Chain A
Amino acid sequence: MGPDVQTDLWGGQRAAPALSPFALPQAQTASPSLWSPAAVSGQLVAPPADPAPAAEVHAQVKNPGPLSSLWEGAKGLGSKAYRGLTAWNFEGRDAHNGQAPTQAEVDQDHSWRQLGHKESIYHDNNRGAPERKYVKDDPGSFLGLGGKEAVIDGDTGKPMAAGPYQATYNYCNPAAGGIADHSPRGIARNLGHVAVDVIPYWFGGTVRGDEGTNFAQRVLGPETYNKAGEKWSGAKNWAGSKLSSVGKGISTGLHGLGGWAGAKTHQAEPQHDQAEPQHEH
């Protein structure tokens, strides 16, 4: 599971600018375009006998044209707006959740409820021992719906305080009775949790940029994603080997057919050879 490069919609994280839909290909800086400054376009059509010094060309490329500046400005505004609109999902959750508690603190406070392994798949890094996830109601939250989380690394026993598997505040804790809780409050809690906590995670990840995971990993959980990937590879290999053997069969059949046809030709040729001497006689 290599770290896939993920970028914010508006390029908040510039891990791989070449992959961003807003990154211009390198060639565009040296070719006439609406996005290039007029001077650069003009320079490019100038006769080769009077080439501009390299430093001058470099300076002209650095100097953006009006449309390019406009585009950069729009990108900046978009990035700012995106950050503002998603702050509740990243910085907001961190602020509500507070400092990550230690295992000892969790053990001594029974209001922390441990969740099962399958319930915690979104916080399991799929390395070594499984991570341990705890939730606790937050009575001071809006309508008392919210809840804090703690995630302890299964290998080190230390809190996972940062990164794509860190604890995240729930704006709506799911019903303690689970899916079977069909009371209005239970249904509201379960649906609310999916709507305001789970789905935003699927699309935005746990931390801004969420370099560690991709969309499919977020939906399935890293462990299920890896297992699904292995099964998919196995199925591909199986299908590939079957297709290959079918292809080999067809090839062998065709070869056999060719051989048979060749043999027929060869059989016909001696008759012809034999006929000729007869003809000579």
Chain B
Amino acid sequence: MSSAITLLGQSAASALILLLGCTTATRIDYAHDPTEGIKTDHNLNRAELAPFTVDGVVVAPLLRVLEPQGTQVWLTLWAASGKTAAVRTVQLSGTGAQSALIRQFPEEKTVTTDKTDVKGVQYGDILVGLVGSDALAAMASEGRARLTLDLRVSPAVEYRHLSFDITRHITKQWVTH
């Protein structure tokens, strides 16, 4: 009798979930919206990319949330051909009341856009460093954080200053399998 009741309960719970069709979860991501679309549309000529372009190289930040390690800060450099660029004085900070929260990555790093994506656009990646997920959450508690950096593309010697607004996105996700 007891096992029959258990079986009935399990079946009812399963049927309920089936009727609902899915199980969901909430996720928090951080993204730079204007450059986020490059991965899917492979178009480097959009007008909104101009502020993030230096000598034909488009800089796209990527904040990759990893648990329990923290959040990796990456830069992907996109170009129509092979280019070499150097990045330095990368800084992630809060905005508004959180602007005192700052994380700096002073080390200079160089990358060449020598990989090719499916549409023939070339790119290269730089792992700038790691920031604690709690620290980033505090920086972006008002909805956004700011990433700034200096970049030069060879053979230029002058660095150009770039600034990116990193937006916090809270989304409902399907449970995946």
Shortest beta-carbon distance from B19 to chain A in Å: 11
Given A119-B25, A228-B13, are A113 and B176 also a contact pair (CB < 8 Å)?
no
Please determine whether A168 and B18 come into contact, CB atoms closer than 8 angstroms.
no
Total number of residue pairs linking A and B with CB closer than 8 Å: 109
Shortest beta-carbon distance from A207 to chain B in Å: 13
Please determine whether A119 and B67 come into contact, CB atoms closer than 8 angstroms.
no
Q: At the interface, yes or no: A153 with Cβ under 8 Å from chain B?
A: no
Q: Which residues of B contact A133 (CB under 8 A)?
A: 176
Q: Which residues of B contact A20 (CB under 8 A)?
A: none
Please determine whether A198 and B27 come into contact, CB atoms closer than 8 angstroms.
no
Contact-residue size bin, chain A (C-beta under 8 Å from the other chain)? 35 or more
Shortest beta-carbon distance from A236 to chain B in Å: 7
Query: Which residue of A has the minimal Cβ distance to B27?
Result: A116
Query: Which residue of B has the minimal Cβ distance to A200?
Result: B177
Q: At the interface, yes or no: B10 with Cβ under 8 Å from chain A?
A: yes
Please determine whether A216 and B13 come into contact, CB atoms closer than 8 angstroms.
yes
CA distance A133 to B176 in the complex (A): 10
Secondary structure type dominating chain A contacts? helix
Which of A8-16, A49-57, A73-81, A173-181 has 4 or more CB atoms under 8 Å from chain B? Answer: A173-181
* A177 CB contact (under 8 Å) in B9, B67, B117, B171: B171
* A201 CB contact (under 8 Å) in B17, B18, B174, B177: B177
Query: Which residues of chain B from 47 to 80 have any CB-CB distance to chain A below 8 Å in the complex?
Result: 62, 64-67, 69, 72, 74, 76
CA distance A224 to B20 in the complex (A): 16
Q: At the interface, yes or no: A90 with Cβ under 8 Å from chain B?
A: no
* A179 CB contact (under 8 Å) in B5, B6, B65, B174: B174
CA distance A139 to B23 in the complex (A): 27
Secondary structure type dominating chain B contacts? mixed
Q: Which residues of A contact B62 (CB under 8 A)?
A: 110
B interface residues, Cβ below 8 angstroms from A:
2, 5-6, 9-11, 13-14, 17-18, 21-27, 62, 64-67, 69, 72, 74, 76, 117-118, 125, 127, 171-177
Q: A110-B64, A113-B64, A198-B22 are known contacts; what are 10 more A-B pairs with Cβ within 8 Å?
A: A107-B72, A117-B25, A119-B173, A135-B176, A170-B177, A178-B171, A197-B177, A198-B176, A219-B14, A221-B23
A interface residues, Cβ below 8 angstroms from B:
107-108, 110, 113-123, 132-133, 135, 139-140, 144, 168, 170, 174, 177-180, 190, 193-194, 197-198, 201-202, 206, 215-216, 219-221, 224, 228-229, 232, 236
20 A-B pairs in the complex with CB atoms less than 8 angstroms apart: A114-B66, A114-B67, A116-B173, A119-B25, A119-B27, A119-B174, A119-B176, A139-B118, A168-B177, A178-B171, A178-B172, A180-B172, A194-B22, A198-B22, A198-B174, A198-B175, A219-B17, A220-B23, A229-B10, A232-B10
